[in-house]
């Protein structure tokens, strides 16, 4: 074994992909997840130690963190709409839960934490592309809570308690991402289309997003943990943007289904445009995206079809 890693939220979409990569590299992996949004099936077949508890359970976290070489903190209440619907719960998990993780790391002497932050900290676009110096002005409780978690991690770094790397995810997608009303637009559109439902676009569809494949997010997490010393925050996207209307066309082409498209009113808290400047993470971590959107969407449609066949 190379060492021990703890992954909070490790039964979730991104977390379970990261767990598999860590195992492939020879690490002992402990997964902490309360299964509120993660799925036990994502890790049931993997040789991990699974601790079913919330990140609010500080005492259990302190026991779990002992001997860890790195902690990947992905557990969170995710999404703008969810945070608007339940802002108190959002902060209980994303702010106080992150503090519990940091305190457990400090008590156990963990040297490195990689925190999953969000592009939601920026709010409405002020300049394009968005680099790390872009004004931080979150316009939802989710963006505000993720910013607080990020700043808390960096503060612990400045105090010398732990090296903290914060990765500001843009729109992550890929195999393992299930349909959820609070989730990413790609699984929502794909499952609507495969189920014969109309695809619903909120707004005119000309809003833009930067989509990054989960394999590239996993790559960035590994680089942050094992190829970088110190504390810092980095934007993590593909460095390319696409309109939602064009995204729908790509999904239709990949699935071979035209489907029907409807439009709804724009949703509160949704930014009009999003595009990451990834030059800093490329320079400091040696990160480079490897999965094109065409390739990623085709792979996701194939995975979603296989999941539906298994459920039938």
**Count of other CB atoms within 10 angstroms of residue 279:** 13
Fold of domain 4-173+211-237: Rossmann fold (3.40.50)
- Catalytic residue numbers read 142
Q: For residue 156, give every residue at least 6 positions away whose Cβ sits within 8 Å of its Cβ, in sequence order, or none.
A: 102, 105, 106, 113, 162, 164
What pLDDT sits at residue 82?
Answer: 80
Q: For residue 132, give every residue at least 6 positions away whose Cβ sits within 8 Å of its Cβ, in sequence order, or none.
A: 233, 234, 235, 277, 280
Cα–Cα distance measured from residue 305 to residue 131, given in angstroms and rounded to the nearest whole number: 36
In angstroms, how far is CA 208 from the centroid of its own chain?
18
Structural domain boundaries in the chain: 4-173+211-237
Two structure tokens written together for 53: 């508890």
Determine the length of the chain: 312
pTM to 2 decimal places: 0.94
Cα–Cα distance measured from residue 181 to residue 171, given in angstroms and rounded to the nearest whole number: 15
What pLDDT sits at residue 79?
Answer: 73
In angstroms, how far is CA 3 from the centroid of its own chain?
24
Q: For residue 311, give every residue at least 6 positions away whose Cβ sits within 8 Å of its Cβ, in sequence order, or none.
A: none
Please report, in tens digits, the pLDDT of each residue of the chain (312 residues total): 589 999 999 999 999 999 999 999 999 999 999 999 899 999 999 999 999 999 999 999 999 999 999 999 999 988 777 878 878 898 999 999 999 999 999 999 999 999 999 999 998 888 999 999 999 999 898 999 999 999 999 999 999 999 999 999 999 999 989 776 556 899 999 999 999 999 999 999 999 999 999 999 999 999 999 999 999 999 999 999 999 999 999 999 999 999 899 999 988 777 788 999 999 999 999 999 999 999 999 999 999 999 998 887
């Amino acid at each position: 074994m190379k060492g021990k890693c703890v992954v909070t939220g490790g039964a979730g979409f991104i977390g379970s992909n990261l767990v598999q990569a860590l195992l492939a590299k020879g690490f002992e992996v402990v997964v902490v997840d309360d299964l509120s949004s993660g799925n036990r099936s994502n890790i049931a077949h993997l040789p991990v130690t699974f601790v079913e508890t919330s990140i609010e359970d500080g005492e259990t976290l302190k026991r779990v963190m002992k001997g860890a070489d790195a902690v990947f903190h992905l557990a969170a209440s995710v999404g703008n709409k969810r945070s608007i619907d339940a802002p108190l719960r959002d902060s209980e998990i994303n702010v106080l839960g992150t503090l519990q993780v940091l305190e457990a790391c400090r008590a156990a002497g963990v040297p490195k934490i990689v925190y999953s932050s969000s592009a939601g900290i920026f709010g409405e676009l002020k300049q394009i592309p968005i680099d790390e110096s872009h004004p931080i002005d979150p316009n939802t409780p989710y963006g505000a809570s993720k910013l607080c978690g990020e700043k808390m991690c960096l503060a612990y770094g400045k105090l010398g308690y732990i090296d903290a790397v914060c990765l500001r995810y843009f729109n992550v997608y890929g195999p393992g991402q299930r349909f959820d009303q609070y989730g990413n637009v790609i699984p929502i559109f794909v499952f609507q289309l495969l189920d014969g439902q109309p695809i619903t676009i909120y707004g005119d569809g000309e809003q833009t997003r930067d989509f990054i494949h989960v394999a590239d997010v996993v790559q960035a997490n590994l680089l942050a943990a094992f190829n970088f010393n110190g504390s810092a925050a980095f934007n993590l996207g593909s460095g390319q943007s696409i309109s939602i209307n064009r995204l729908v066309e790509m999904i239709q082409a990949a699935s071979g289904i035209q489907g029907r498209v409807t439009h709804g009113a724009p949703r509160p808290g949704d930014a009009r445009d999003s595009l990451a400047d990834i030059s800093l993470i490329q320079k400091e971590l040696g990160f480079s995206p490897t999965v094109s959107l065409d390739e990623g969407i085709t792979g996701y449609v194939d995975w979603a079809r296989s999941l539906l066949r298994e459920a039938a």
